[in-house]
Homo-oligomer: A and B are copies of this chain.
Amino acid sequence: MLRNLNLDDFGIYEGISETIVTTSRGWAMNAAPMGIIRRKDKLFMRIFKDSTTYNNVLSEKILVANVIWDPIIIVSATFSDLNDSEFETVNFNSRTFVSLKKAQCWVAFECTNTKLTSESLVTELVPVRTHINKCMIRAPNRGLFGIIEACIHATRYRLTNDGKYLKLIKAYGDIVEKCGGENEKEAMNLLYSYL
């Protein structure tokens, strides 16, 4: 455990931080968007069943939360497998874990006090290793936020087939079109291709 770690330094503030969680099992590496819940200095994550992250966390009891603002990585990690070339491997305390090369920073966590429910697991996260690649200033962009919201609604749409989510996705697509840059627009087109 890292004592006296200031989670703010790694972009993880009170509330829910949207990160890309990377896990591995054997040679297989996985990335998926996940929210870290922070209440004071306690961190939790809820991971739904039947996902690779769920299985990897149960088996390995470790995960890496990557802070990343790349809209194409966010969409790709939501709907498909990232290329192996997007990952890098870190060895620490005779364990191997994986992170994303393009992350601004990442924090590796041990998963403890894991509780299983019928639908998901809830696990407490204890930071064991951190890394900062680069600090980038970025003004808020509504298009980038639109990508994150559209990913959430698209996931729900694929689970339920409920048309109300399509309307929401389209509304966020309009925000991306108006406010996003080329990367956000490309990411939105990629998202549409998965519906």
**Interface of A with B (CB < 8 Å)?**
8-19, 35-36, 38, 65, 67, 69, 104-105, 132, 135-145, 148-149, 178-184
- Interface of A (DSSP majority class): mixed
Taken together as a complex, chains A and B put the C-alpha atoms of A10 and B138 apart, in Å, by 7
8 A-B residue pairs with CB within 8 Å: A10-B137, A14-B182, A15-B143, A15-B181, A16-B143, A18-B141, A38-B181, A67-B139
For this chain, the copies found in one complex come to: 2
- Whether B104 contacts A11 by the Cβ 8 Å rule is no
- Whether A69 contacts B14 by the Cβ 8 Å rule is no
Taken together as a complex, chains A and B put the C-alpha atoms of A51 and B135 apart, in Å, by 35
Given contacts A15-B181, A178-B16, contact A136 B135 (CB under 8 A): yes
Q: Which of B69, B132, B137, B148 contacts A67 (CB 8 A)?
A: B137
- Whether B179 contacts A15 by the Cβ 8 Å rule is yes
Given contacts A137-B9, A142-B145, A145-B145, contact A15 B180 (CB under 8 A): yes
Q: What 13 new A-B contacts, CB under 8 Å, besides A11-B137, A36-B139? A: A10-B137, A11-B138, A11-B139, A12-B139, A15-B143, A15-B180, A15-B181, A16-B141, A16-B179, A19-B139, A35-B179, A136-B137, A142-B149
Please indicate the chain B residues that have their CB under 8 angstroms from the CB of A183 in the complex. Answer: 14
The smallest beta-carbon distance between A110 and chain B, in angstroms, is 19
Please indicate the chain B residues that have their CB under 8 angstroms from the CB of A13 in the complex. Answer: 138-139, 141, 181
Smallest CB-CB A-B distances: 5 pairs = A14-B181, A17-B139, A15-B181, A145-B145, A11-B137
